[in-house]
Amino acid sequence: MSQSTPVSVEPNSNNSNLYVIPVTILLVIALILCIVRFYTRLTRTKRLYLDDWFIVVAEPLSLINACLAYAAISHGWGRPFMTLSEADYKTTMKLQFALQTTWIFTLCFVRLSVACSLLRFGTDLWWRYTLYILMGLQVAISSSWVVIQFGQCKPISSNWEHVKDVKCWNLQAIINYGWTIAGVYVIMDLILSLMPIKLIRTLNRPRNEKVLISLLMALGLLATAVAAAKMTTFKNFGTGDPMQATIPPSMYAKLEEVVGIIASSLPCLKAPVQNLLKKLGVLQTRQLSRPSFVNTAITFDEPSRQGEQRSDRDGSFPSLKDSVHMDYVSVKPSSSGSNTRDRSHERKEKREVV
């Protein structure tokens, strides 16, 4: 029996906690943030945007993916291969195949959500074309992985059981492709994380609020770090115990996905976080007295604008310094008299024309 053991491992060892603990913690955080995100969206804007709908699809897929992983662990994933029965091995490999497939789609939807959220905050051609290229590239990469997943070996059942006359693509070519795509993913995450810097620099907001927005958006850099860390596991691909050696890369892949969901949801929670910091005294109300780049609205009516233009010609242009408030722009009372006379004069002229 000892001669049949291909690798030196402890018979009772189990490294599945390396996957379960960090993934479960971040899954709970991501789920809570998604619920708060959708509640905030529906109460403040009464609608969901395209980036929200991508997360509506991605979050349930992420939970299904985690359930598949937990089921695989219950059947022996993380334990030494030689301790598994043939039935448990077959079930575990089936679950891992489903796990990999759902991960491909989930990660695609997460990155599309991040890109769509950035599309709303830029009108420059280079800004929009950059995001369109990243979105198209992500769809193409995910589609290629689906083709590889279902086409690399025939029959497809060879992915979870031993069958005769198996025909598979060149494994080294797939490994090289995986290295290349992993590098592309790191670059994509880095671009999506750094693009908001241009937006933040142009905001007419207090420094404390800029720091808050930067922190909310900078979590995307953590997804970049996770994607880079995942690449360190590639050198061990195909070595070690098949049930235990696949835990670390799977853990990094899952964290990359869940951190992406968290990073895409945090910027949408700026208002609740800002209100919380105000209650804690971190942000003062006087620091938030500038017009918001999201909520600012100008409430001039047409007669008031005409009155201001006439007041300007008369040398009595109202000062805007004292007229700016949080979510609106008002006209100083000093110009109200001239506006009233102008409107009366306009009504008189209209009666004469009629």
| Residue 34 contacts residue 266 (beta carbons within 8 Å) | no
- Percentage of the chain beyond pLDDT 90 is 43
Rg value, the chain, Cα: 29
For residues 112 and 100, what is the distance between their CA atoms, to the nearest angstrom?
Answer: 19
Q: What is the pLDDT of residues 190-207, one digit of tens each?
A: 898 888 777 777 767 667
Copy the structure tokens of residue 300. Answer: 């001039």
Query: Considering only 66-70, 93-97, 124-128, which range has the smallest mean pLDDT?
Result: 124-128
Determine the 3-state secondary structure of 354 from DSSP: coil
Domain ranges within the chain, ordered by starting residue:
13-279, 302-353
Q: How far is CA 301 from CA 289, 291, 292, 295, 337, in A?
A: 23, 19, 21, 18, 16
Q: Which residues contact 328 (CB under 8 A, 6 or more apart)?
A: 296, 297, 298, 299
Average the pLDDT over 216-236 and give the result: 82
Class for the domain spanning 13-279: mainly alpha
For residues 268 and 181, what is the distance between their CA atoms, to the nearest angstrom?
Answer: 29
* Nearest Cα to Cα of residue 186 among 145, 234, 140, 227: 227
Judge whether residue 232 has pLDDT over 80. Answer: yes
| Residue 234 contacts residue 182 (beta carbons within 8 Å) | yes
Determine the 3-state secondary structure of 153 from DSSP: strand
Copy the structure tokens of residue 311. Answer: 């007041």
For residues 347 and 295, what is the distance between their CA atoms, to the nearest angstrom?
Answer: 34
Q: What is the pLDDT of residues 161-177, one digit of tens each?
A: 888 888 999 988 998 99
Strand 153-154 and strand 167-168: the pairing is antiparallel
| Residue 233 contacts residue 239 (beta carbons within 8 Å) | no
Altogether, the residues listed in the chain come to a count of 354
